[in-house]
């Protein structure tokens, strides 16, 4: 599979974004389960780092689906803000490279 991905380097960003968004989604679910069981949690810094690295959509879906961190203002504002900055950055890069 890795060899087939390497044949199509334009697919690498898509594969990366799918993987990091899956990580964001799963990290919200895992942290919610740990919170319910009163176990050691995933640090908030780590949850924000995953979102910042491109997993903001998955993290937001995880927040909504698992009802996790939805009462924390830093997450309710921070995750959409990270997503907005990522969309603006992607738009700017596309304009720069495709013009």
pLDDT of residue 11: 84
- pLDDT at position 74 is 97
pLDDT digits (tens, 9 = 90+) for 26-73: 999 999 999 999 999 999 999 999 999 999 999 999 999 999 999 999
Is 69 within 8 Å of 63 (Cβ atoms)? yes
Q: What are 22's two structure tokens?
A: 């899956």
| Residues whose CB is less than 8 angstroms from the CB of residue 30 and which lie 6 or more positions away in sequence, other chains included | 42
What does the H/E/C string look like for the chain?
A: CHHHHHHCHHHHHHHHHHHHHHHHHHHHHHHHHHHHCCCCCCCHHHHHHHHHHHHHHHHHHHHHHHCCCCCCHHHHHHHHHHHHHHHHHHHHHHHHHHC
Residue 80 pLDDT > 60, yes or no? yes
CA atoms within 13 A on the CB side of 49: 5
Lowest mean pLDDT among 10-19, 67-76, 79-88: 10-19
């Amino acid at each position: 599979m890795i060899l087939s991905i390497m044949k199509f380097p334009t697919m690498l960003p898509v594969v990366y974004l799918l993987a990091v968004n899956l990580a964001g989604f799963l990290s919200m679910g895992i942290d919610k389960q740990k919170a319910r069981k009163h176990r050691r949690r995933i640090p908030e810094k780590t949850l924000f780092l995953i979102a910042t690295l491109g997993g903001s959509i998955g993290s937001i879906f995880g927040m909504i689906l698992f009802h996790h961190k939805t009462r924390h203002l830093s997450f309710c504002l921070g995750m959409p803000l990270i997503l907005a900055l990522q969309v603006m950055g992607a738009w700017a890069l596309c304009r720069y490279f495709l013009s």
